[in-house]
């Protein structure tokens, strides 16, 4: 790989200050005093580790002992050409390294490492800045490679589309496998966008009902009459607009699985009718007296705290216990950050296939920012971000500067430790949490209320109380 000059590289200045790059730099020079002055500036002002050697043999021995990120040399030392031997050894031992040559002369052709010329200058500060810029880029290449190797080592076939290696994900997968073997009603609990639908599909696919249909109904936003017709069907003339018979999802899913999403939003009267179907295993279409037996495995999901809903009389207690036979709790993405690199890379590959792109990775700096972000929209938000980025960058890797501003400028939403809250009143802590949660959700009050596990009306009252 040949680069005609240092200025053609991506500048290390684009890396956020929080992601400071520390490199090991090898300086080969016959002027040991000048080498020591340069080493002092690189160490004290730029934070790099440096070694100074006077001869080519010593430089090669140093590279074999510890692969450097940067080698700085003149084209010749004491009449001996340095660039070719150094480049050859670096190519075999340090693929991410850079060879910086002080002065004119032909740069060697290389397979892996970067090469560039530096104009000699008596200004050691200026020279150190240029070397440090190259060092930051070399370390970024090394970190990008190590990240991809780490992802490749952890990469395994997704379990029915579910990606992750954290204990929380392993527990969910075990719960899915057991759910597939039993006949209990399943309740999946988790925030919006955590992948509850994937879990429901996995249970169906792994069960003995996999050869039959799985139907899904979103209970949110449907009126009681419409939801009753969707679930139980209706006969012709049952109501205005019922011009033909409809069999309903319970009958359509007979022998299979019915996924009831956002069950917490089901109207109370419909909850009573659903409970009766679950207990009797029979449905009556709207406008009919005919009863039909059904064999349906029900999997329900909610982003609400159903226990609180029961206490507030918004959800039937008897239905809650009927649904609560086999519970699978899905943690928000912010509580399993270790999975984000693996998941982001999986989503990158999926977006490549969907859009016929060739985005070849995510840089370590960009991945660090993705891992740090709060993800109020969970996996769904991450998937949307990655898909848009893949289409944007097309055939190169995703860099930190490609990320949306909300992610590049994100900060942790909670104090680093409980000690940071010592001395605050409960009202001050509450105000801080509400303010930071609203910041993380981009001002979405409904989402903030769900994260804080309080009612939307309560949140509005608190916002007014604290003047937020």
Query: How many helices (H) and strands (E) would you count in the chain?
Result: 18, 14
Q: Are residues 142 and 178 in the same domain?
A: no
Q: Alpha-carbon distance 88 to 74, whole Å?
A: 16
Domain match, 305 and 357 both: no
Do 323 and 343 have their domain in common? Answer: no
Report the CATH number that the domain containing residue 38 is assigned in CATH: 3.40.50.2300
Q: Does a structural domain hold residue 1?
A: no
pLDDT beyond 80 at 238: no
Q: How sure is the predictor about 413, in pLDDT bands with cuts at 50, 70 and 90? A: very low
- pLDDT one-digit tens code per residue, 195-229: 999 999 999 999 999 999 999 999 987 888 889 88
Under a CB-based contact definition with an 8 Å cutoff, are residues 140 and 27 in contact? no
The predicted model scores a pTM of: 0.67
Question: End of a domain among 408, 434, 458?
Answer: 408
Q: Is residue 78 part of a domain?
A: yes
CATH of the domain at 396: 1.10.8.60
* CATH number, residue 257: 3.40.50.300
In a domain, 156, yes or no: no
Distant-in-sequence, close-in-space partners of 223: CB < 8 Å, separation ≥ 6? 267
Judge whether 162 lies within some domain: no
Q: For the chain, what percent of residues have pLDDT higher than 70?
A: 89
Domain count, the chain: 4
Q: Please spell the DSSP secondary structure of 255-305, one letter per residue.
A: TSEEEEETGGGS-HHHHHHHHHHHHH-EE--BT----EE---EEEEEESS-
Is 429 among the domain residues?
A: yes
Domain assignment of residue 272, yes or no: yes
User: Per the domain annotation, does 346 fall within a domain?
Assistant: yes
For residue range 310-345, list pLDDT tens digits in order: 999 999 999 999 999 999 999 999 889 989 999 999
Reported confidence tier of residue 5, pLDDT bands at 50, 70, 90: very low
What CATH number should be reported for the domain holding residue 455? 1.10.10.60
Q: Which domain holds residue 174?
A: 167-329
Identify whether residues 116 and 67 lie together within a single domain: yes
Would residue 413 count as lying in a domain?
A: no
């Amino acid at each position: 790989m040949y680069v005609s000059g240092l200025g053609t590289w991506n500048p290390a200045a684009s890396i956020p200050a929080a992601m400071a790059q520390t490199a090991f730099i090898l300086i080969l020079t016959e002027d040991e005093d000048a080498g020591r002055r340069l080493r002092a500036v690189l160490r004290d002002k730029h934070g790099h580790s440096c070694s100074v050697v006077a001869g080519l043999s010593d430089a090669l021995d140093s590279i074999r002992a510890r692969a450097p990120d940067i080698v700085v040399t003149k084209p010749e030392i004491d009449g001996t050409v340095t660039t070719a031997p150094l480049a050859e050894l670096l190519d075999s031992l340090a693929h991410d390294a850079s060879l910086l040559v002080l002065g004119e002369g032909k740069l060697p052709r290389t397979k892996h490492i970067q090469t560039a010329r530096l104009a000699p200058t008596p200004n050691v500060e200026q020279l150190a800045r240029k070397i440090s810029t190259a060092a930051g880029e070399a370390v970024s290449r090394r970190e990008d490679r190590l990240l991809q190797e780490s992802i490749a080592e952890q990469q395994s076939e997704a379990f029915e589309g579910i990606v992750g290696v954290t204990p929380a994900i392993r527990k969910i997968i075990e719960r899915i496998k057991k759910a597939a073997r039993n006949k209990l009603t399943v309740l999946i609990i988790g925030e919006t966008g955590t992948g509850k639908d994937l879990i429901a599909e996995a249970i169906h696919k792994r069960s003995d009902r996999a050869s039959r249909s799985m139907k899904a109904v979103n209970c949110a936003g449907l009126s009681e009459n419409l939801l009753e017709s969707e679930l139980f069907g209706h006969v012709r003339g049952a109501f205005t607009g019922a011009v033909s018979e409809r069999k309903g999802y319970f009958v359509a899913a007979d022998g299979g699985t019915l996924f009831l999403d956002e069950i917490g939003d089901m109207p109370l009267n419909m909850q009573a009718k659903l409970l009766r179907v679950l207990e009797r295993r029979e449905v009556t279409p709207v406008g009919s007296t005919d009863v039909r037996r059904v064999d349906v495995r029900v999997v329900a999901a909610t982003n609400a705290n159903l226990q609180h809903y029961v206490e507030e009389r918004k959800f039937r207690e008897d239905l809650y216990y009927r649904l609560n036979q086999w519970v699978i709790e899905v943690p928000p993405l912010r509580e399993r950050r270790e999975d984000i690199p693996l998941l982001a890379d999986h989503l990158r590959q999926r977006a490549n296939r969907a859009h016929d792109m060739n985005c070849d990775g995510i840089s370590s700096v960009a991945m660090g920012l993705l891992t740090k972000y709060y993800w109020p929209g969970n996996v769904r938000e991450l998937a949307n971000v990655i898909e848009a980025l893949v289409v944007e960058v097309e055939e190169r890797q995703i860099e930190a500067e490609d990320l949306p501003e909300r992610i590049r400028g994100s900060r942790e939403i909670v104090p680093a430790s409980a000690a940071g809250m010592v001395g605050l009143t409960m009202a001050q802590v509450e105000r801080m949490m509400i303010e930071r949660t609203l910041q993380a959700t981009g001002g979405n009050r409904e989402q903030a209320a769900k994260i804080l596990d309080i009612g939307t009306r309560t949140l509005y009252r608190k916002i007014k109380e604290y003047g937020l």
